[in-house]
Structure 1
Amino acid sequence: MPNSAPPLPLLITQGDSAGIGPETIVQAFRDAPELLRGCCVVGELATLRRASACLQAAGQLPLPVAVLQTPAQAWQAPPRCVPLLPLPGLPGPQPWGQVSAEAGRAAADCVQWAARAVLRGEAAALVTAPLHKEALHAAGVHYPGHTELLQAEAAHHAGVVLAHMPVRMMLASDELRTVLLSIHVALSAALQAVTFDNVLQTLHITHQALTRSLGRAPRIAVAGLNPHAGEGGLFGREEIDVIAPAVAQARSAGLDVHGPLAPDTVFMRARSQPGRPGEFDVVLAMYHDQGLIPVKYLGVDKGVNVTLGLPLVRTSPDHGTAFDIAGQGRADAASLIAAVRMARQLAGVA
Structure 2
Amino acid sequence: MTPLPLALTMGEPAGIGPEITIAAWRAVRAAGPVFFLIGDPALLPGAPLALIERPEQAADAFPEALPVLPLSLAAPAVPGRLDPRNAPAVIAAIEQAVAFARAGRAGGVVTNPIQKSVLTAAGFPHPGHTEFLGELAGTGVPPVMMLACPGLRVVPVTIHVSLKRAAAELTTAAIVTQGLVVAEALRRDFGIAAPRLVVAGLNPHAGEDGTMGREDIEIVAPAVAALRAQGIAVRGPLPADTLFTPRARATYDCALCMYHDQALIPVKTLDMDGGVNVTLGLSIVRTSPDHGTALDIAGNGLADPGSLIAALRMAADMARHRAEGAAA
TM > 0.5: yes
Contact 1:36 1:340 in 2 (8 A): no
| Correspondences of 1:1-350 after superposition (within 5 Å) | 6-49=2-45, 53=46, 63-77=47-61, 79-87=63-71, 89-155=72-138, 164-212=140-188, 213-268=190-245, 278-348=250-320
**1:192 alignment partner, SS class:** helix
Decide which moves more: 141-150 or 34-43.
Answer: 34-43
After superposition, give the CA deviation of every residue in 1:116-138 in whole Å (9 maximum; x if it has no partner).
22112221101111111212212
**1:315 alignment partner, SS class:** strand
| Structure 2 Cα separation of the partners of residues 279 and 313 of structure 1 | 26
Decide which moves more: 12-21 or 29-38.
Answer: 29-38
Change (3 A) 1:131 1:270: farther
Contact 1:229 1:260 in 2 (8 A): yes
**What is the deviation of 1:181?**
0.8
**1:85 alignment partner, SS class:** strand
| Structure 2 Cα separation of the partners of residues 145 and 246 of structure 1 | 27
Unaligned runs of 5+ in 1: 54-62, 159-163, 273-277
**What is the deviation of 1:256?**
0.7
After superposition, give the CA deviation of every residue in 1:62-114 in whole Å (9 maximum; x if it has no partner).
x3111000011111215331110012x53254221123313433322211221
- Percent of paired sites with the same residue: 46
**What is the deviation of 1:220?**
0.8
Contact 1:16 1:106 in 2 (8 A): no
Decide which moves more: 208-217 or 166-175.
Answer: 208-217
**What is the deviation of 1:270?**
6.6
Decide which moves more: 26-35 or 244-253.
Answer: 26-35
| Structure 2 Cα separation of the partners of residues 35 and 338 of structure 1 | 14
1:58 aligns with none
After superposition, give the CA deviation of every residue in 1:300-330 in whole Å (9 maximum; x if it has no partner).
2121111011110001111111111100011
**1:307 alignment partner, SS class:** strand
After superposition, give the CA deviation of every residue in 1:27-70 in whole Å (9 maximum; x if it has no partner).
01112213445310011111122xxx4xxxxxxxxx31110000
After superposition, give the CA deviation of every residue in 1:227-273 in whole Å (9 maximum; x if it has no partner).
1111111121111011101101111211010000111221225765x
**1:127 alignment partner, SS class:** strand
| Structure 2 Cα separation of the partners of residues 12 and 342 of structure 1 | 13
Count how many residue pairs are aligned between Structure 1 and Structure 2.
321
| Structure 1 Cα separation of the partners of residues 162 and 121 of structure 2 | 19
Contact 1:181 1:193 in 2 (8 A): no
Contact 1:270 1:281 in 2 (8 A): no
Unaligned runs of 5+ in 2: none
| Structure 2 Cα separation of the partners of residues 98 and 197 of structure 1 | 42
| Structure 2 Cα separation of the partners of residues 78 and 261 of structure 1 | 47
Change (3 A) 1:248 1:149: same
Which residue type is aligned with residue 25 of structure 2? F
Root-mean-square deviation over aligned CA pairs: 1.9
**2:273 alignment partner, SS class:** helix
Change (3 A) 1:186 1:144: farther
Contact 2:33 2:316 in 1 (8 A): no
| Structure 2 Cα separation of the partners of residues 242 and 147 of structure 1 | 25
**What is the deviation of 1:206?**
0.8
Contact 1:125 1:313 in 2 (8 A): yes
Decide which moves more: 132-141 or 256-265.
Answer: 132-141
TM-score, normalization by structure 1: 0.86
Q: Which runs of 4+ in 1 moved over 6 A?
A: none
Change (3 A) 1:80 1:254: same
**What is the deviation of 1:190?**
2.6
| Structure 1 Cα separation of the partners of residues 216 and 187 of structure 2 | 26
Decide which moves more: 165-174 or 29-38.
Answer: 29-38
